[in-house]
């Protein structure tokens, strides 16, 4: 049986590299023959049964309910963290992370809410690319754009593994 897969790209597309998740999601949607809308929160209709796509500004608590309906979930974000990798690929387990800000809720936290409320934990990964510039722009910085391209190819392979 095919695994049900959800890809969530998140970040602020108006703040340059913070929108890496949106840019990557857009490329994935194009591979599936669809365009990603310009605004977060809009439904993305994808005829392909490979994966459902969601673009949001930030992670929020009721996402826990949504991901509880999937077997596999991939979160895509930008990072400025002290990771050795420019493109980071992490398998996620539920864990409540005390976040500096609630609207900064992490994917692990959402998984932990899904586990606590719905008793379901999908296989989950977090793919993030290093962000270098966070100005009021919709285009990625050249360095992040190159990383986003690389990340998108990996995610596409991961999606196909679930079929």
Given the rule CB under 8 A, which residues bind another protein? 10-12, 14-15, 17-18, 39-42, 56-58, 60-62, 64-65, 77-83, 96-104, 106, 109, 112-113, 116-117, 126, 128, 131, 134, 136
Q: How far apart are CA 102 and CA 157, in angstroms?
A: 32
In this complex, which beta carbon is closest to another protein, that of residue 62 or of residue 91? 62
In this complex, which beta carbon is closest to another protein, that of residue 31 or of residue 83? 83
Query: Least distance from C-beta 40 to another protein, angstroms?
Result: 4
The contacts of residue 148 (CB under 8 Å, 6+ apart) are: 20, 23, 24, 27, 129, 140
Query: Least distance from C-beta 153 to another protein, angstroms?
Result: 21
In this complex, which beta carbon is closest to another protein, that of residue 127 or of residue 159? 127
Query: Least distance from C-beta 2 to another protein, angstroms?
Result: 28
Q: How far apart are CA 25 and CA 53, in angstroms?
A: 7
Q: What are phi and psi of 29, to 5 degrees?
A: -65, -40
Query: Least distance from C-beta 125 to another protein, angstroms?
Result: 13
Q: Calculate ∠ Cα 148-27-51, nearest 5°.
A: 110
In this complex, which beta carbon is closest to another protein, that of residue 29 or of residue 114? 114
Query: Least distance from C-beta 137 to another protein, angstroms?
Result: 12
> Where does 20-136 have alpha helices with state H?
20-31, 63-67, 107-118
In this complex, which beta carbon is closest to another protein, that of residue 50 or of residue 109? 109
Q: Calculate ∠ Cα 92-56-78, nearest 5°.
A: 55
């Amino acid at each position: 049986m095919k695994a049900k897969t959800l890809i969530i790209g998140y970040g602020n597309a108006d703040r340059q590299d913070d929108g890496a998740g949106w840019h990557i999601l857009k490329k994935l949607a194009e591979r599936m023959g669809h365009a990603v809308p310009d605004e977060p929160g809009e439904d993305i209709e994808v005829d392909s049964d490979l994966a459902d796509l969601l673009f949001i500004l930030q992670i929020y608590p009721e996402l826990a309910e949504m991901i509880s309906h999937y077997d596999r979930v991939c979160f895509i974000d930008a990072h400025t963290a002290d990771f050795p990798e420019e493109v980071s690929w992490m398998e996620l387990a539920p864990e409540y992370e005390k976040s500096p800000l609630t609207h900064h809720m992490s994917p692990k936290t959402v998984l932990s809410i899904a586990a606590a409320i719905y008793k379901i934990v999908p296989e989950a990964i977090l793919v993030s690319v290093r962000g270098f510039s966070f100005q009021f722009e919709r285009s990625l910085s050249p360095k992040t754009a190159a990383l986003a391209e690389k990340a998108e190819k990996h995610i596409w392979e991961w999606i196909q593994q679930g079929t």
